[in-house]
Structure formats: C-alpha cells, structure tokens
Amino acid sequence: MIHYLCSGSLLVALKKAGLVLGKDYEVNCCGLSCIPAVLFMDREEKSYVLLSNMWEEAKHLFKTASKTCLSGFVKDLSTIFKVKRRLENVNNVNELMKFVKKWLPNLRIDESSPVKIYAYNLRKQNEELLVGDLYDIIAKVLVYPPNFPPVDGYMSLAWVFGIPFGDVAVHVSLKDDIVPKRALDYIFISYLARYRKVLQMRLSSFRFVCEIVPENSLDFSLTSARFLKAAQDLLHRRLN
C-alpha cells in the first residue's frame, strides 16, 4: 500500500514543473491510489504530510496490501484461509469507513472533477466511473478480497484490470519472489499470470508507461523519491 500512498509525490512533482491538475491533466485512478489523488485535489500543500502520517495507521488496517513483495501477500492469504475468515465480515468495512472519514474530506465528485475514480461493478461485470458522495465512492474502490467484502456490488478495479484507461500509466509492479510450496501458492501464481496478461493488454493502449518496481522498504520518504524520479522521467519523455 505504501507505493500507492506515495504516488502523491508524482502529482507534487508535476505541479513543480508547472502542470496544473484540472487544466493540464486529469487523474484516472482506482483502488488505493485514489487516496493521494483526492487529497492532492483538495489540499495540495498539505497532501504529502497527511499521507505520511496516514501511512502509520493504514499499514495496520490494510495489512495484506501493505506487503512489499508477493510472497508476503500470499503468506497473509494463507493465514486468512486457515482461520476461515468470512468475506461477509462487516466489521472490516466499518473500520475502513472510520479510516476514510478520519483522513479524507467528504467532497462531491462529478464527471467534471479532475480526479476520475473507477471501480469494478460485479453485477454488470465492467469498470465504472463513479460520481457522487466521496465517502460512498471510496468505500467501493478500496475493498478487495479477502480482507474486505464488496460494497454495494463493487470492488477495487485494481484487482481486475490493474489500472483504468488513459494516456500515461504509472504502474507499480511488486517483486515476484514466490517459491511455490503449497496449493495456495500455485493458485495465486495462476491468477497472477492471467492478471498480468490482462494488464499488459491494457497498458499497450497507453502513450507512455512508467513501471515502478519498489524496493523492499516501508520507508515513506524513500518510496516517495521513486515517484518523484518517475515524474521526471515522464516529463523528459513528454518534452522529447
């Protein structure tokens, strides 16, 4: 999760380069990356400090998503299945909403907003641009299996397509360090192969793609620096 929270540094770098959100570019986001995008839209000057402070609390709430490598992620999945945690655990969603209301403003998001937020509609089986009350929207885009059940028939688009459509993609790719030993390892590797195939098909439609392979670090400032570097690379490619 730290990598998605740190993506706000990319928006800060674009501002320093003279690019204005809503005038020069828009942000299409899904999942956890929506948090820094919304904070930057509402509180540009304070967004970095807020995200840095938020991380200390977020890593305890989003335990599975806070891993820096895939093997740690699979280990958490195994633990969850062993204790037979039910997906219908509404307590998790309640804790999620407490977190959202503590850290995010309750804005009104419409189709003209410079930050476009997407989720996956399980009933229609497609991605959907969400508009309306931010708290209602965020509840739908942050939930992911097996830690959180779907909210009103929606879940994170990041788990299905990886990223919304756009012109420029900044993609975080966790280190693939899984050494399969158990059945769950093989199941996850199979899912991962299909997911990456879909993701690559989607990424091929972008004009520019920047892939960030994070270090095995939970240091907020260090990870933010990688997004600053990504912004510099994107600006260089855009000008050339």
Tell me the per-residue pLDDT of 200-221, one tens digit each, with 9 for 90 and over.
888 898 888 888 876 666 778 8
Write out pLDDT tens, residues 91-108: 678 888 999 999 999 899
Q: Is the pLDDT of residue 84 over 60?
A: no
Q: Can you tell me the mean pLDDT for 44-63?
A: 86
Write out pLDDT tens, residues 114-136: 999 999 998 998 999 999 999 99
Could you tell me what percentage of the chain is helix, strand and coil, using 3-state DSSP and rounding each to the nearest 5? 50, 15, 30
Q: Is the pLDDT of residue 69 over 90?
A: no
| DSSP assignment letter at 50 | H
pLDDT more than 70, % of the chain: 81
Mean pLDDT, rounded, of the chain: 81
Check residues 142 and 76 and name the one with the higher pLDDT.
142
Please state, in angstroms and rounded to a whole number, the distance separating the CA atoms of residues 103 and 109. Answer: 17
Range from 5-19, 55-69, 72-86, 216-230 that averages highest in pLDDT: 5-19
pLDDT more than 90, % of the chain: 29
pTM score above 0.75: yes
CB 72 within 8 A of CB 138: no
Q: Can you tell me the mean pLDDT for 184-207?
A: 80
Please state which of the ranges 70-79, 129-138, 215-224 shows the lowest mean pLDDT. 70-79
Check residues 111 and 175 and name the one with the higher pLDDT.
111
Q: Can you tell me the mean pLDDT for 146-151?
A: 78
Q: Is the pLDDT of residue 109 over 90?
A: yes
Please state which of the ranges 9-13, 66-70, 188-192, 197-201 shows the lowest mean pLDDT. 66-70
**Pairing state of beta strands 126-130 and 108-109?**
unpaired
Q: Which of 138, 41, 149 is nearest to 85 (CA)?
A: 149
Please state, in angstroms and rounded to a whole number, the distance separating the CA atoms of residues 206 and 186. Answer: 31
| DSSP assignment letter at 27 | E
Residue type, 172: V
